[in-house]
Each structure stands twice: as structure tokens, then as C-alpha cells.
Amino acid sequence: WWREIDIEIVGTRLDTIETVIHCIRYDDASLADGVPFDQSYWVIHADRWGHHKFDFRLDETYHTYAIESTPTYISWSLDGVEYRRVEEDWIEPMQTSPNSIAFQVWGGCDPNWCGPLDQGVLPIYQYVKWFKYSEYTPGQGPDNSDFTVSKTDEFDGTELNADDWRFFPWQQAGTQFTENCIVVKEGTLIMCLTADAAGGHQGTVPPDDGPAVAGEQRSGSTIVERGVGARLKGNTIVGRVAQPYPATAVLLDAQGRRVRTAIPTSARDGTGEFSIDCASLAPGAYVLTIAGGATQQSQRIVRQR
């Protein structure tokens, strides 16, 4: 089997992530030299592709991209928020054999898919600030979570760790992968798409100020999206409700578990005020829910590492 669980961003749609599951069954004939590739070897399913549009460009700042592959599902998330999940039986070949993890930037193979390559914009770069791999350990991870970190790389030094990474030479549609186009500096893995094989990186590495989500408010390593009216004051979420009783402010983690609760206190104008300390929160995505009477409102919180 050849398997891929992909996150793809193409130059003609910089506000969109394409997710795809490639699964190809090989036999001796399909692997033989000179035998044309036969599309019948692909495992075709209606849900193989996914297209996910956001209200911001993905190339303007750093983001945290994640894939979870477990015995029961495959999911994709951006900045701690899941945007696709597949649970059907057809993904079983993806889950029964070890997989590797790869990064690449290239000129594409089909102009109808990603647009023609405009060499006038070269060089362009893909920057990776850190990488983390977690093993699937149901209920045995931190705070009874299902994953335990087993490998990290913050790309310190001047080259990749040869024990963990290898260079994969591949030529496709006028793009040739060369080691000169892989650079490690300033705590960053840089993949370079250049007009010639000399490769290399020119200029400075953009600083990592955290992901920018439209309509957000940022303080330190916590992001509050505009929603129910809560805002950040240092590492504390503060908010106001129309009346203090019977309103309750509840912060839920990605699994829907309650991690913080705040009861609003009465303000002079008769409204209710509340605050939630975020300083000790683990990295991840949370939902702030304000419930009171017959109404309920929610707002997303992202805690960066």
C-alpha cells in the first residue's frame, strides 16, 4: 500500500486547505519498471477529498496544523480547532501500518488544480517553527487525554537531525527536490522553492507572533475570538453579562470537559462581571460558554504553547 494523509495549500486558493486521503494498492505488475500507472489501483471514495475555506489567508502568519490518526478516525485541525473528521471503514488501510511524516513545497503537477507556476514570484519559502509527534495512548496522556508526546523538534542548530529526518529526492512537473533547498537557521526549518538548483534562503525569518484569526484579540499566548463579548486582560479572560443571576461562565476543553467555571458578580449598573485565569491552561482549543436563563452563547479560546 501507498498511503497519504495530506494537508495541501495551493497558490491559487490561499484561504483554503485541501485535505485528501490517498490510498493505493500495489501489486508486482504495478511496481515493475516501464508499466504505466493504472488509476484502478487507487482506493476511490466520495469523501477522499475535502476543501475547507477560512476567512483569512493562511500564508500571512504561522499556524498550527495537526492530523490525528487513530484506530477509529482520522481528523484535521487548524490552531487547535478540528475542521474535518473521517470515521468510515474505508480508511482502514491507513491505520494498520506505520506512516512517516513529510513536509514539502513544490511547483505542483497540474495547472488545472493549482494554477501555472509563475517563476517571476520566486523564490518563495515555507517556514516551520516546530514539529511534535504524539503516540496514541487512549486515556493515558496528560489530563487523561488520548495522546502522549514522544518526539519534538524545534529545529535548533544549522541542519536537520539525520536520525529523525531524511531528504527525499523527487522530480515532478519541472520541480526538482535538492538538498540545497532545505535550510535550518534561527530555530526554523525553511523549504525553498527557487528558480534554480542553487537553492538557499535569502532574507530574514519572519517572527512567530502566533496565529492571526480574523476578529481576534491577543494577549501573550492566549487568543480570544470575538463572540459573546469576553476580552483579554493580561492572561485573564474578563466579560460582562446582562445580569449576574442565573448566568454562569464555563470554559470547556476540546473534549467538552469543564476546566474553569466563573459565577458573575453584580456590577454597579446591574450587570454581571466575571473573570477566568488562563495562565495555567494547557495549550489547546477551548470554548467559553455563557449560560443564563433560556439563552446560551459561546466563544472560542485558543491557548498557544
pLDDT digits (tens, 9 = 90+) for 153-205: 999 999 999 889 988 776 665 677 888 899 999 999 999 999 887 889 998 99
Q: Where are the alpha helices (DSSP H) in 96-207?
A: 111-114
Indicate the pLDDT class of residue 265, thresholds 50, 70 and 90.
confident
Q: What is the DSSP letter of 162?
A: T
- The answer to whether position 243 is within a domain reads yes
- The answer to whether position 45 is within a domain reads yes
φ, ψ at 256 (rounded to 5°): 80, 15
The total number of structural domains in the chain stands at: 3
φ, ψ at 6 (rounded to 5°): -110, 150
Indicate the pLDDT class of residue 42, thresholds 50, 70 and 90.
low
Among the candidates 194, 211, 228, a domain finishes at 211
Burial class (CB in 10 A: 0-12, 13-18, 19+), 5: buried
- The answer to whether position 109 is within a domain reads no
Q: Which of 31-35, 135-139, 224-228, 261-265 has the lowest mean pLDDT?
A: 31-35
Indicate the pLDDT class of residue 264, thresholds 50, 70 and 90.
confident
- The answer to whether position 278 is within a domain reads yes
Considering the domain architecture, whether residues 189 and 224 belong to the same structural domain is answered as no
Considering the domain architecture, whether residues 121 and 150 belong to the same structural domain is answered as yes
What is the model's pTM? 0.66
In angstroms, the CA 223 to CA 212 distance is 9
Q: Which of 107, 110, 93 is nearest to 5 (CA)?
A: 93
The winner for highest mean pLDDT among 31-35, 128-132, 261-265, 279-283 is 128-132
In angstroms, the CA 237 to CA 222 distance is 9
Considering the domain architecture, whether residues 220 and 273 belong to the same structural domain is answered as yes
Domain with residue 55: its CATH number is 2.60.120.200
Considering the domain architecture, whether residues 184 and 144 belong to the same structural domain is answered as yes
Given a cut of 90, is residue 9 above it in pLDDT? yes
Considering the domain architecture, whether residues 87 and 180 belong to the same structural domain is answered as no
Given a cut of 80, is residue 33 above it in pLDDT? no
**Mean pLDDT of the 263-274 span:** 78
Considering the domain architecture, whether residues 194 and 160 belong to the same structural domain is answered as yes
Considering the domain architecture, whether residues 202 and 248 belong to the same structural domain is answered as no
- The answer to whether position 272 is within a domain reads yes
Considering the domain architecture, whether residues 191 and 252 belong to the same structural domain is answered as no
Given a cut of 80, is residue 91 above it in pLDDT? no
Indicate the pLDDT class of residue 212, thresholds 50, 70 and 90.
very low
Long-range contacts of 23-27 (CB under 8 A, 24+ apart): 23/91, 23/93, 23/94, 25/1, 25/93, 26/1, 26/2
97 residue type, one letter: S
Residue numbers of the domain that contains 19: 1-99
Q: How many CB atoms lie within 10 A of CB 138?
A: 12
In angstroms, the CA 300 to CA 285 distance is 7
Considering the domain architecture, whether residues 261 and 177 belong to the same structural domain is answered as no
In angstroms, the CA 34 to CA 89 distance is 33
- The answer to whether position 106 is within a domain reads no
